[in-house]
Amino acid sequence: MANAPGAIAALADPTRRSVFELIAKAPRSVAEITRALPVTQSAVSQHLKVLKGAQLVSSEASGTRNIYRLDPRGIEKMRKWLDGMWDQGLASFAKHAERKDD
Amino acid sequence: MGASSVPPIAKSITVRAPIERAFKVFTVDPITWWPPAYTIGTSPMKAIVIEPRIGGRWYEIGEDGSECQWGDVLVWNPPHSLALAWRINLDWKFDPSLLTEVAVKFTDIGGGRTEVHLTHSKFENLGDRAAEALRIFDGWSSNLERYATFIEQTSERGT
């Protein structure tokens, strides 16, 4: 699986992996994650920053706290890219097919 | 993860060209119309090749001569239809085990015009970074369990 090298590197740290696995089970706040692990809240925040950078988790404000959940953006990003590709591609294809000189 | 609910891309365009020409322009030297920004190579694209047969490769050739495979031909039915496997993963890398499918239909609508209908589907196969990372670690866990069982069995035998 060479699909997600950045993501895998982000999970190499065992504590960070525990943070990720907690979020994978259910969306949670920093405080909830901290309560479940033997590390400080600032350490958890650092791990969350790395996980966000690798697009493994995303956060959403809920009242005064951020709720972290698995990040579903990867596919949607690729789909948008391909949507643009086929839009531009088909328009250019039609122009080319309608040319009479070749 | 909602990955199975990713809808396919569907596009239609009518071209003032006969069906044979529409199919030919689409499949022979697609570099003539391919938007140049849509490349996965490191060098600008010099050519795009769709080998005209089922199983044929679909790839780009860079100005430096390097080839980057995109996928392969699943259906080859000129001038009516073709289907291509687009095997580019979320890291914009070729992955032969990944299948997303581009199906193109050409319909003669009379008056020397052709309707081209394209769908790009099976995005759910892209998985998802997070889901995939979990799957990999699940795989590792079960490997470790098998390893542990193996060690226990062999050490029992050894003692």
User: What are the residue ranges spanned by the domains of chain A?
Assistant: 1-71, 72-102
Of A4, A56, A85, the CB nearest to B38: A85
Q: Are residues B116 and B140 in the same domain?
A: no
Among A6-10, A23-27, A74-78, which is the least confidently predicted range?
Answer: A6-10
CB atoms within 10 A of CB B41: 17
- Taking the Cβ of residue B28 and every Cβ of chain A, the question of whether any pair is shorter than 8 Å is answered with no
3-state SS record for chain A: CCCCHHHHHHCCCHHHHHHHHHHHHCCEEHHHHHHHCCCCHHHHHHHHHHHHHCCCEEEEEECCEEEEEECCHHHHHHHHHHHHHHHHHHHHHHHHHHCCCC
Q: How far is A22 from chain B (nearest CA, A)?
A: 11
pLDDT at B3: 43
- Taking the Cβ of residue B10 and every Cβ of chain A, the question of whether any pair is shorter than 8 Å is answered with no
Q: Are residues B83 and B122 in the same domain?
A: yes
pLDDT at A90: 96
Average pLDDT on A47-52 reads 93
Q: Is the pLDDT of residue A3 over 50?
A: no
Q: Are residues B93 and B140 in the same domain?
A: no
Three-class secondary structure of residue B144 per DSSP:
helix
CATH of the domain at B15: 3.30.530.20
Class of the A1-71 domain? mainly alpha
Q: Are residues B138 and B120 in the same domain?
A: no
Spell out the long-range contacts of B55-64 with Cβ–Cβ below 8 A and sequence spacing 24 or more.
B58/B84, B58/B85, B58/B86
Measured CA to CA in angstroms, residue B11 lies from A59, B53, B115, B116 at distances of 33, 24, 11, 8
Element (H, E) at B23: helix B19-27
- Taking the Cβ of residue B83 and every Cβ of chain A, the question of whether any pair is shorter than 8 Å is answered with no
Q: Strand B67-77 relative to strand B57-62: parallel, antiparallel, unpaired?
A: antiparallel
Q: How far is A42 from chain B (nearest CA, A)?
A: 23
Q: pLDDT tens digit string along B6-19?
A: 789 999 999 999 99
pLDDT at B159: 43
Cis check: omega of the bond before B79, within 30 degrees of 0: yes
Among A28-37, A64-73, A79-88, B7-16, which is the least confidently predicted range?
Answer: A64-73
Q: Are residues B20 and B40 in the same domain?
A: yes
pLDDT at B87: 94
Q: Are residues B104 and B85 in the same domain?
A: yes
- Which residues in chain A are closer than 8 Å to B84, comparing Cβ atoms? none
pLDDT at B110: 95
pLDDT at B128: 66
Closest residue in B to A77 (Cα–Cα): B90
Structural domain span for residue B22? 3-126
Q: Cα-flanking dihedrals φ and ψ of residue B78, to 5°?
A: -65, 145
| One-letter identity of residue B33 | W
Average pLDDT on A38-54 reads 94
Segments of chain B scoring below 50 in pLDDT: 1-4, 158-159
Q: Are residues B77 and B152 in the same domain?
A: no
| CB atoms B25 and A75 under 8 Å | no
Q: Are residues B134 and B116 in the same domain?
A: no
Q: Are residues B155 and B97 in the same domain?
A: no
Q: Are residues B79 and B102 in the same domain?
A: yes
- Taking the Cβ of residue B69 and every Cβ of chain A, the question of whether any pair is shorter than 8 Å is answered with no
Q: Are residues B26 and B64 in the same domain?
A: yes
Q: Are residues B118 and B133 in the same domain?
A: no
Token digits for B43? 């060098």
Looking at the 3D structure of chain B, how many domains does it have? 2
